[in-house]
């Protein structure tokens, strides 16, 4: 196996391990993060009902113009703030954080801190 396949396999294992324990309910939905080299995406999901309550990403119209590069910490911070504002508008105050197998470092950490500062609890 080459290094990229090994990396992907390890992340998939971490993701499964985390998802065994992190489950979103109506009272406390799951905030999940997905990232690529160019963009970062987040959703708040109610796993009981199987619905996405709200989402934000660097590809969304409202953030696309204000963010120069979608793959850096500044973009992650903007997405975290936007998601928290949308969640509070929908009545969501507390969430469970699903880092989706990514390390809690860099863009993922910046997004989480910005969402906490903007009003989400986790």
pLDDT tens across 74-101, in order? Answer: 999 999 999 999 999 999 999 999 999 8
* Range 3-117 classified under CATH 3.30.420.100: yes
User: pTM of the entire structure?
Assistant: 0.88
Q: Supply the pLDDT for residue 34.
A: 96
Spacing of C-alpha 98 from chain mean position = 7
pLDDT tens across 8-46, in order? Answer: 999 999 999 888 888 888 899 999 999 999 999 999 999
Structure tokens at 70: 């979608």
Q: Supply the pLDDT for residue 20.
A: 84
Q: Supply the pLDDT for residue 65.
A: 85
């Amino acid at each position: 196996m080459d290094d990229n396949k090994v990396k992907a396999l390890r992340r998939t294992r971490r993701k499964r391990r985390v998802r065994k324990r992190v489950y979103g309910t109506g009272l406390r939905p799951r905030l999940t993060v997905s990232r690529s080299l160019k963009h970062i995406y987040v959703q708040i999901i109610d796993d009981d009902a199987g619905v996405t309550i709200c989402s934000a990403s660097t590809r969304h119209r409202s953030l696309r113009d204000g963010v120069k590069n979608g793959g850096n910490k500044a973009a992650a911070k903007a997405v975290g703030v936007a998601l928290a504002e949308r969640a509070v508008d929908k009545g969501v105050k507390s969430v469970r954080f699903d880092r989706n197998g990514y390390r809690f470092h860099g863009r993922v950490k910046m997004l989480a801190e910005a969402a906490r500062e903007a009003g989400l609890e986790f």
